[in-house]
Amino acid sequence: MACSSLLGQSGETPSLRGMANSLDISHAAVAQTLKLLETKGYIRRLGRYSRNIVILDKPGAMNAEHRKKVVPIVGRITAGLPIYATREWDGSLMVDDALFPGDNLFALKIQGQSMKNAGILDRDIAICRPRQYAVDREIVVALINGEEATVKRFFLHPDHIELRAENPAFRPQTYGFDDVMIQGKVIGIIRSAQVMDEE
């Protein structure tokens, strides 16, 4: 903000005329801008005719910071054929609690294209809520035979569990009830490019 930089240089708020000269705009334009900034909560003027101005934090900036939380990234799993799950953390990322509410969330790196029609692409980060049950048609993280983890859409049948890909190139997989352990529900996706930008 120009007002902020001017204040930082001198330690005092410049006059409206001084700001107008520095910014090469009219006195009236400065007055209108200051009034708008005050209305939006960016500044506070100490008295109607006082040139003393207090520059405030951007509204919601602190709240946005407070909404951030750390989510650990579990080792890479597959969105194609299952691969062995890892129990080691593979870093972490910051997420907005307003977008991904809940406690003890975890993230997974996706490998493969079997879920592409659900918008889950290779190298995406899946944000997951830990849960040991699934509702029909939910996209879940499933541990198969206690060793292999995969992300698939869940279907419950009378005599088996079906884990279905969102890509016609991959056939549905069926398992006995004792062969599948639900680890969580996928509640959102972060593109790998977004994670790189944040880093």
Q: Say how far residue 160 (Cα) sits from the centre of its chain.
A: 35
Concerning whether 114 is annotated as a catalytic residue, the answer is yes
Residue 183 has pLDDT above 80, yes or no: yes
Q: What is the pLDDT of residues 115-133, one digit of tens each?
A: 999 999 999 999 999 888 9
| Lowest-pLDDT range of 33-42, 76-85, 107-116, 159-168 | 76-85
Residue 135 has pLDDT above 90, yes or no: yes
Q: Cβ of 79: how many Cβ atoms within 10 Å?
A: 27
Mean pLDDT of all residues in 29-50: 69
Of 1 and 140, more confident: 140
Residue 83 has pLDDT above 70, yes or no: no
Domain boundaries, the chain: 16-63, 68-188
Concerning whether 152 is annotated as a catalytic residue, the answer is yes
Of the candidates 168, 166, 169, the one whose C-alpha atom is nearest the C-alpha of residue 155 is: 166
Banded pLDDT at 34 (limits 50, 70, 90): confident
| Lowest-pLDDT range of 5-14, 112-121, 169-178 | 5-14
**pTM (two decimals):** 0.61
From 10, 26, 40, 114, active-site residue: 114
Mean pLDDT of all residues in 137-149: 89
Residue 9 has pLDDT above 90, yes or no: no
* pLDDT value of residue 37: 75
Mean pLDDT of all residues in 62-75: 72
Alpha carbon distances (Å) from 197 to 16, 94, 115, 192: 39, 12, 24, 9
Q: Are 55 and 42 in contact (CB under 8 A)?
A: yes
Mean pLDDT of all residues in 134-146: 93
* pLDDT value of residue 31: 75
16-23 and 27-39 helices, crossing angle to 10°: 110
Residue 154 has pLDDT above 50, yes or no: yes
16-23 and 2-10 helices, crossing angle to 10°: 110
β-strand partners of 71: 93
Check whether domain 68-188 has CATH 3.30.70.360, yes or no: no
Q: Say how far residue 194 (Cα) sits from the centre of its chain.
A: 9
Of 28 and 74, more confident: 74
Residue 103 has pLDDT above 70, yes or no: yes
